[in-house]
Amino acid sequence: MANDLRDKGIEIANDAVRDDNAGNYEDAINKYCKAAEYLMTATKYEKNPVTLKTIREKSLEYVQRAEALKQGLAGKGAGGKKAGGGGGSKEEEEESEDDDVEPEPLTEEQLAKAEAEMKEELSKLIGMESVKKQMEQLCKQLSLDIRRRAEGHNTLDAIRHMMFTGNPGVGKTTVSRLVARLYHQLGVSAKDSVVEVQKGDLVAGYVNQTAMKTAKKIKEARGGILFVDEAYQLTQALQRGQSDFSGEAIDEMMKVMNETGRKSVTFVFAGYKKEMDEFVQYNAGLESRIKYRFHFDDYTVPDLCKIVNIKIKAKGYKMTADAEKNLNAIIDKNTTADLRSKYNGRLTDNLLQWAADCMNQRLDLTASGEQLITLTKDDLSEAIKKFQLARPPQKKDPALLGGEQVEQQFKMWGIQHLSAFFVRAGYRQLVDLIHLSKQDIMALGVTKDAEVRRAVQLVERLKQEHRKESLEMDALFVDPDSVDVKTWLEKRSLGEFAKLFERHRVDFEVLGDLTYEDLKEMGLNEVGPRRRIHRQIVQWRDDREAKKADAIRSRMQVQENKAYLESQQQNVDDRLQHLKASLGESGYVTGLRPSSG
């Protein structure tokens, strides 16, 4: 089947990755090409459109990497970072380990200054009362640890990783930068930088590459903070028992989470409360390594008013006294708690942008002085209405990325508002949905009877389509030694029943579905012959998958020999050109785009 060709292609690609990492770039180029050739052959037999898209994406990745290596070998840097793409030499890494000298311990004056600066920074944060309290406790603990070490005492716990939970726009990224500055000022970390990543920055589409991508980001964040946004995406597929390379990313992070010292990485995992609770429960070792847990509440209306005032002053603008007095009422009456929860801090950005647009429409070209920078009550009242009439473009919820196919399918069925339940739970491809039962759908949060019925109908339809594609694949690969059912019967010493099967128009597409009762209805009333035929059908049906696999393996061997001969006759440029042409003919790409892996 196409699965065999695909698996063989990925197996060769994994060998290519190993050669790539080892610096055997010429071997890696040939193997990347061969892997892509296998996958492109697999597309000829693959019927599932979702899988077909994935296979072509893999082919594109391998072609891109082969081209990058070929270009690297053509230049001077073939053996270094540019060609290998996997980092510098061991000597370079060891050299970077020694380029940061341990600083002198903080003096009492320096410590007091750092504490005062952090207290001042915390006072600037709007809302976040519980977070600010936890930050003050953290600052106090770190300060006491510094004093303990200064007096020659040990500290009890060096783990400093964190989990931030809350809705978008509540300041999780802002506080992570504050933590980075605090750690740096107190000498806990070597840098005050924050490297922000999501699942796509860590996870690749095939074995070994995920570990490489994650290790690269960890190295980039050394001495500072690695902020993993929407971290729960790393475990959703794994928790459902589905194959996913995210486990490699988690394993790679856990390898370094017990490291201590100024140059170690501090991990901050962030996301929605419910999903993040499930994330840490996935692995007991992961949960034990996260010491601090901060929950960010949604901003209240008074909080949003304070943020608006701060941003207006920062831009050098003003509000009329009437606008400032009514700002709280304007926001409270024209937005719902649900809408504010969805936007949080971003609500203030949109409000001010639209209020400025209203001001520009109101003013004429002769305006001057403070008229040009003063927002009125009417400006704000008109602007706030746009949240209900014309929602602004927003950054898509990261939890829903990659679920476009599912969203489109739900839209076709008129229940697009339910797609988020499924995509957020990790059901991002249509093939993921075919295993869902009615109980599974209700467990995802679909509660209204009509919506449950609609979702069940959608899933059933997808199951039917999947079944149809499976049967079409079965029709392609039947017993290679039997041209028809008559021959099949004769080979099994059952030729006397050929006319009966012909009369009932039994062919290979229905042979495997015949039951013991079906045979009786066909006129096989005698128990002996009926059982004999049924046993042969059951055996044939059970053996059919193996026979199909054998047939494909034979084709695969022919293809491998053909690819080998072609590789001897063609140079790398010809092979890459042929692969790119094949991808173009498939309608998938017209040119190579930057690789994601």
Could you give all domains of the chain from N- to C-terminal order, each with its CATH number?
1-86+539-597 (1.20.58.80), 108-295 (3.40.50.300), 301-389 (1.10.8), 402-464 (1.10.150.50)
**Residue 168 confidence (pLDDT):** 86
Angle between helices 172-185 and 108-124 (to 10 degrees): 170
Cα 89 from Cα 316, distance rounded (Å): 51
Structure token pair of residue 224: 């500072």
What's CA 413's distance to the chain center, in Å?
Answer: 25
As a residue count, the chain comes to: 597
**Residue 95 confidence (pLDDT):** 40
Cα 51 from Cα 44, distance rounded (Å): 12
Cα 222 from Cα 282, distance rounded (Å): 25
Q: Are 418 and 406 in contact (CB under 8 A)?
A: no
Cα 29 from Cα 64, distance rounded (Å): 10
* Amino acid at position 593, single letter: R
CA angle 198, 199, 201 (to 5 degrees): 70
Q: Are 482 and 494 in contact (CB under 8 A)?
A: no
Cα 444 from Cα 437, distance rounded (Å): 11
Q: Are 178 and 128 in contact (CB under 8 A)?
A: no
Cα 80 from Cα 244, distance rounded (Å): 31
List own/partner pairs for 370-373 with CB under 8 A and 24 or more apart: 370/318, 373/316, 373/317, 373/318
Report how far apart the first and last C-alpha atoms of the chain are (Å, whole number): 27
**Residue 471 confidence (pLDDT):** 60
Residues 6+ apart with CB under 8 A from 396: none
Q: What is the pLDDT along the chain (597 residues), one digit of tens a residue?
A: 556 777 778 878 888 887 787 778 888 888 888 888 888 887 777 766 667 777 887 888 888 888 888 887 776 443 344 444 444 444 444 444 444 555 666 777 878 888 888 888 888 888 888 898 888 888 888 888 888 877 878 776 667 899 999 998 888 999 999 999 888 888 788 888 999 999 888 887 655 678 888 999 999 999 899 999 989 888 877 766 655 678 888 888 988 888 888 888 999 999 999 889 888 887 777 888 888 899 999 999 999 999 999 999 988 999 999 999 999 999 999 888 888 888 888 899 989 999 999 999 999 988 899 989 999 999 999 999 888 764 544 545 555 556 777 888 888 888 888 888 888 777 877 777 877 889 888 888 888 888 899 999 988 988 887 666 666 555 555 555 667 888 889 888 999 999 999 999 888 878 888 899 999 999 998 899 999 999 998 888 877 766 655 544 444 344 444 544 454 445 677 667 777 777 765 555 444 443 333
Write phi, then psi, for 247 (nearest 5 degrees).
Answer: -60, -35
Cα 55 from Cα 39, distance rounded (Å): 6
- Cα–Cα distances in angstroms (integers) from residue 550 to residues 34, 46, 473, 478, 479, in the given order: 21, 17, 14, 11, 10
Q: Are 430 and 458 in contact (CB under 8 A)?
A: no
Cα 460 from Cα 167, distance rounded (Å): 34
Burial of 99 (0-12, 13-18, 19+ CB in 10 A): exposed
Residue given tokens 């082919």 in the structure block: 59
Residue given tokens 């006319």 in the structure block: 499
Does the pTM surpass 0.75? The reply is no
Cα 118 from Cα 141, distance rounded (Å): 13
Write out the H or E segment, with its range, that includes residue 515: none
Cα 343 from Cα 349, distance rounded (Å): 10
Residue given tokens 């697999």 in the structure block: 42
Gyration radius (Cα) of the chain, Å:
32
